Amino acid sequence: MDRAAPDKPMTVPALAEARRAGRRLAMLTAYDAGFARVLDANGTDIVLVGDSLGMVVQGHASTLPVAVEDMVYHVSAVARGLRRALLLADLPFQADATPERALDAATRLLQAGAGMVKLEGAGPHKLAAIRFLAAREIPVCAHLGLTPQSVLRFGGYRVQGREADAAAQLRADALAVAEAGATLLVLECVPSALAEQITRDSAVPTIGIGAGPHCDGQVLVLHDMLGLDSGHRRPKFVKDFLEDGGSVAGAVRAYVSAVREGSFPGPGHAYD
């Protein structure tokens, strides 16, 4: 199977094509044009402007303070640095509280240069927002498992889906978001076996972060991938690719290669 990165621009339909071809998708975050150019030139399929910028760029303790205006600013900067990669943008905290608010925020992010938006969770109002956006031709990525915008309810950043009831709910949620119209699914901090089952049953490609090796792709926060100190405890699923890569460009190439060949994440980066 062809696992090389395509030269043509990555599109939403190409995500499903990559899955059918057995080519794992490599995603990284970026927050400015300079790093975006490096990611784009070295094989990254999807560049995520995550609300993680609240922690690694703005220095907050969580993603909750990030506003739509912050996201629009960083999306527009990153978009100027991309030629090939698909630009994915987070809807920040409460931007998807109603379908109408989600549409307003998503419209602004797409007008700034994003090709898809991501929202966390699968509650009734989240599914309503996904349906509302999909019906209006806005590509949506869902995000399940550890959803950082729910940190107050979770009481911290913890692995999700270890108990039987929680695992069953995650499986049901994964089917629900795809049925609602999501065309990509991020699974964060869930046991590897559960992520494997969800990926097998999912109608859309899955991207893992702390979800083991069986997803259709992987994502890391750029600062974590480069071994930079963000002021927060490094999660188990993080690997410093700058150590082996020797440069930022080399680290990106090493990460993309490891994702493609399936050597990352290894057993030490996954949860039981």
Is 104 labeled as ligand-binding? no
What are the residues facing 89 on neighbouring strands?
49, 117
Coil, strand, or helix at residue 27?
strand
Q: Is 17 a catalytic residue?
A: no
Residues 6+ apart with CB under 8 A from 92: 51, 54, 63, 66, 67, 68, 70, 71, 105, 149
Q: Which residues pair with 28 in a beta bridge?
A: 47, 220
On whether 52 is known to bind a ligand per the annotation, the reply is yes
Please give the C-alpha separations between residue 249 and each of 36, 110, 227, in angstroms, as whole numbers. Answer: 11, 27, 14
Sign of CA dihedral 192, 193, 199, 200: positive
Other C-beta atoms closer than 10 Å to the C-beta of 200 total 9
- 192/197 Cα distance (integer angstroms): 9
Distance of alpha carbon 170 from alpha carbon 195, whole angstroms: 9
Give me the phi and psi of 140, to 5 degrees please: -125, 135
How far are the Cα atoms of 39, 172, 178, 187 from residue 155, in angstroms, in the given order?
34, 23, 28, 19
What is d(CA 221, CA 81) in angstroms, rounded to the nearest whole number? 18
Q: Can you name the residues that pair with 163 across neighbouring β-strands?
A: none
Looking at 188, 196, 243, 261, which residue is catalytic?
188
Tell which residue, 214, 186, 216, has the closest CA to residue 24: 216
DSSP 52: T
Ligand-binding annotation for 40, yes or no, is no
Q: Please give the annotated binding residues, written as ranges.
A: 51-52, 90, 118, 120
Q: Which residues are annotated as a binding site for 3-methyl-2-oxobutanoate?
A: 51-52, 90, 118
Active site residues per annotation: 188
Q: Could you tell me which residues are annotated as the binding site for Mg(2+)?
A: 51, 90, 120
